[in-house]
């Protein structure tokens, strides 16, 4: 069966050999122009692409992925959590932009928060023989870490830089430091009963470090952390509302709620409005993430900003430097963070 041009079903689709003949180059040159354009002169590349675009040529990516040179397979794989929140979406956008600019394709596979699911997802990614991997957290599965530790594939673990040694490289923030900084900020503002609402921390190194940072900041500032003022809820606005209601019932003296995500904080703000509680006079609310809606709430949300899109871009840039063989690359690359003070706390 002859493949047809999708723009004209009656017209046979040209082979790479025919594209090469019409462009006046060797078939290998066409392959390089499509797979590794930096290895072809701009003039030759332009001539090849003119024929490709005119004739509607579509390269067989499956066949291309069977190349013996891993770095010529211009795919970067990434594993995302089952629930993609706004922060993860920003990271993926940064990764996608950087991949596109460098001529790579970004392949996303959904992972899991348990070792078995994590290993399965990583094996699936490796099955595509990518040039490198960007993983949205430290890899916890020992079997998966063993698969990746051989050094055959460049790996960047993104978001967290504390708590584990990276397999290859890590780009992100210390979630311990971010939560410690926000909790210390709230203590410095005069709040005494500081609750902490989080989505489930099991298997999530970022949330684990945020909770540890919250606890340590209270101790460092002379407060014994009250376990009854910690709660785990689903990552929804309703979860944030439920967290505020539950913690206020446990301790009527609660005067501020620090939420591990802006989504929870938005729900907590709405719950205060339903109760007729003034913010921050009766109850203060702090979030994490600085999503777009945080600056549009009433009152505007005090939160912690992490440059997640820049983080995603930086992860790709580090991976590409590794693939080019640049020496002395740092294993850990921090991106920084900022407390954004607004009216809610």
Judgement on whether residues 157 and 187 belong to the same structural domain of the protein: no
Q: Across 50-54, 101-105, 198-202, which has the greatest mean pLDDT?
A: 101-105
pLDDT in tens, 221-236: 988 777 889 999 998 9
Residues 159 and 221 in one domain: no
Q: Give the range among 32-46, 252-266, 267-281, 303-317 with minimum mean pLDDT.
A: 32-46
Domain containing 298: what range?
175-305
CA distance 157 to 137: 6
Instruction: Report the mean per-residue pLDDT for the chain.
Output: 86
Residues 328 and 182 in one domain: no
pLDDT tens by residue, 83-113: 666 778 889 999 999 999 999 999 998 877 6
Region for 340 from its dihedrals, namely left if φ exceeds 0, alpha if ψ lies in -120 to 50, beta otherwise: beta
Q: How many domains does the chain have?
A: 3
194 forms bridges with which residues in the sheet? 256
- Residue 29 sits in a domain of what CATH number? 1.10.260.40
For residue 9, the model assigns a pLDDT of: 45
Say if residue 263 is in the same domain as residue 321. no
> Is the whole model's pTM more than 0.95, yes or no?
no
Distance CA 107, CA 125 (A): 8
**DSSP per position, 103-146:** T-EEEEEE--SSHHHHHHHHHHHHTT--SEEEESS----HHHHH
Number of H helices, E strands in the chain: 12, 14
Partners of 232 in the β-ladder: 198
Based on the domain organization, do 168 and 179 belong to the same domain?
A: no
Identify the residue whose tokens are 């990746």: 148
Q: Is 84 or 214 the better-scoring residue by pLDDT? A: 214
Q: Please report whether residue 65 resides in a domain.
A: no
For the record, the structure tokens of 138 come out as 């430290």
In a domain, 129, yes or no: yes
- Residue 185 maps to which CATH number? 3.40.50.2300
**C-alpha span between 265 and 197 (Å, rounded):** 9
Whether the predicted pLDDT of 15 surpasses 80: no
Mind giving me the DSSP string for 39-79? Answer: GS-HHHHHHHHHHHHHHT----HHHHTT-S-GGGS-EEEEE
Instruction: Check residues 300 and 43 and name the one with the higher pLDDT.
Output: 300
Answer yes or no: do 202 and 223 share one domain: yes
Asked if the structure places residue 23 within a domain, the reply is yes
Question: Does 229 reside within a domain?
Answer: yes
Task: Kindly state the average pLDDT of the residues 253-272.
Answer: 96
Residues 6+ apart with CB under 8 A from 138: 157, 160, 163, 164, 166, 170, 205
Same domain, 13 and 89: no
pLDDT in tens, 144-180: 888 888 778 899 998 888 877 888 999 999 999 999 9
Q: Are residues 168 and 186 in the same domain?
A: no
């Amino acid at each position: 069966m002859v493949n047809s041009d999708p723009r004209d079903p009656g017209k046979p689709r040209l082979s790479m050999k025919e594209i090469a003949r019409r462009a006046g180059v060797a078939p290998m040159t066409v392959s390089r122009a499509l797979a590794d354009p930096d290895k072809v002169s701009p003039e030759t590349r332009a001539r090849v692409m003119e024929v490709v675009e005119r004739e509607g040529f579509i390269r067989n990516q499956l066949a291309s992925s069977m190349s013996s040179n891993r770095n010529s397979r211009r795919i970067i794989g990434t594993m995302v959590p089952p629930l993609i929140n706004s922060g993860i979406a920003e990271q993926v956008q940064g990764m996608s932009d950087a991949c596109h600019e460098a001529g790579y394709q970004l392949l996303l596979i959904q992972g899991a928060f348990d070792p078995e699911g994590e290993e399965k997802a990583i094996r699936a990614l490796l099955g595509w023989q990518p040039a490198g991997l960007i993983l949205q957290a430290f890899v916890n599965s020992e079997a998966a870490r063993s698969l990746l530790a051989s050094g055959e594939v460049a790996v960047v673990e993104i978001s967290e830089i504390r708590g584990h040694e990276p397999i290859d490289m890590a780009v992100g923030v210390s979630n311990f430091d971010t939560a410690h900084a926000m909790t210390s900020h709230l203590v410095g503002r005069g709040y005494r009963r500081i609750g902490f609402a989080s989505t489930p921390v099991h298997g999530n190194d970022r949330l684990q470090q945020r909770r540890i940072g919250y606890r340590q900041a209270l101790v460092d500032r002379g407060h014994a952390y009250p376990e009854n003022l910690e709660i785990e809820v689903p990552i929804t606005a309703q979860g944030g509302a439920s967290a505020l209601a539950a913690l206020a019932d446990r301790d009527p003296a609660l005067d501020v709620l620090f939420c591990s995500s802006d989504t929870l904080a938005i729900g907590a703000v709405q719950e205060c409005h339903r109760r007729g509680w003034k913010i921050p006079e009766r109850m203060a609310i702090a979030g994490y993430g600085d999503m777009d809606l945080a600056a549009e709430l009433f009152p505007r949300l005090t939160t912690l900003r992490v440059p997640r899109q820049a983080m995603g871009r930086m992860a790709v840039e580090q991976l590409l430097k590794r693939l080019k063989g640049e020496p002395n690359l740092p294993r850990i690359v921090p991106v920084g963070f900022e407390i954004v003070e607004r009216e809610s706390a």
